[in-house]
Copies of this chain bind each other. A is one copy, B any other.
Amino acid sequence: MSPNAFLGEFEQMVLLAILKQGEHAFALEVRREIEESAHRKVSRGAFYTTLDRLERKGMVEWAEAEPTARRSGPLRRFTVTPEGVAALRTSRRALETLWNGLDLLAEEG
């Protein structure tokens, strides 16, 4: 994979939300996870566009699942690849290092 495995912040959130749902997460649950954790609305467009980009980077994979209720079309279940986990780690470390020593700032308000 390209060494330029940079991840945007929203991309990180999507990856993390998938991981939190355990293997083979469903879209709806992932979106809900992000909305609750980040306290912000996530539109379908934003969500799927980001998911597609992550797939193109090889950080996410998905498989179809059988429809279960009130749905149609292909139902996807997502998984984060090892590359995705590695990229996540890299991004986190960079920020952690910078935050190091400034943690007091993170506590207030």
Q: Which residues of A contact B (CB under 8 A)?
A: 7-9, 12-13, 16-17, 19-20, 33-34, 37-40, 85-86, 88-89, 91-95, 97-99, 101-102, 105-106, 108-109
Contact = CB atoms under 8 A, between A and B. Distances in A.
A68 B9 CA distance: 38
A96 B73 CA distance: 34
A16 B99 CA distance: 7
B16 A102 contact: yes
B106 A19 contact: no
Contacts of A94: 13, 37-40
A9 B105 contact: no
Given A7-B9, A89-B109, A92-B106, 18 more contacts: A8-B9, A9-B91, A12-B95, A13-B94, A13-B95, A16-B95, A19-B102, A20-B101, A33-B98, A37-B94, A38-B94, A38-B98, A40-B94, A85-B105, A88-B105, A88-B106, A89-B105, A92-B95
* Interface class of chain A by DSSP: helix
Contacts of A109: 86, 89
